[in-house]
């Protein structure tokens, strides 16, 4: 996992949730930060555009993403 990827994802989570980036810790629960299904789509679009990849909303692995660390690990396997 690159620190660049982690920083990008934390910044995007903060942006789509309307919170300060320093509140997005590795162990933060995404739902607790305000990431709902609509915001998840916005986040997925930003990741797809930045890394030129395609993410599947129906991917069972995505359903297991609960924390920021989970998100970083998930995306790092896709890029």
Grouping H, G, I as helix, E, B as strand and the rest as coil, residue 47 is helix
- pLDDT for residue 47: 96
- pLDDT for residue 1: 54
The answer to whether residues 47 and 55 touch, using CB atoms and an 8 Å cutoff, is yes
pTM attached to this predicted model? 0.92
Domain spans of the chain? Answer: 3-78
Please give the Cα distance from 1 to 60 (Å, whole number).
21
Average pLDDT of adjacent 10-residue blocks, the chain of 79 residues? 90 97 96 94 95 92 94 94
Instruction: Tally Cβ neighbours within 10 Å of residue 49.
Output: 9
Q: Tell me the CATH class for 3-78.
A: mainly alpha
């Amino acid at each position: 996992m690159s620190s660049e990827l982690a920083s990008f994802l934390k910044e995007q989570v903060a942006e789509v949730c309307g919170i300060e980036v320093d509140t997005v810790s590795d162990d933060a629960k995404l739902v607790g930060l305000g990431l709902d299904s609509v915001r998840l789509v916005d986040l997925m679009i930003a990741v797809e555009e930045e890394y030129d990849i395609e993410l599947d909303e129906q991917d069972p692995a995505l359903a297991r993403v609960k924390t920021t660390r989970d998100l970083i690990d998930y995306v790092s396997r896709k890029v």
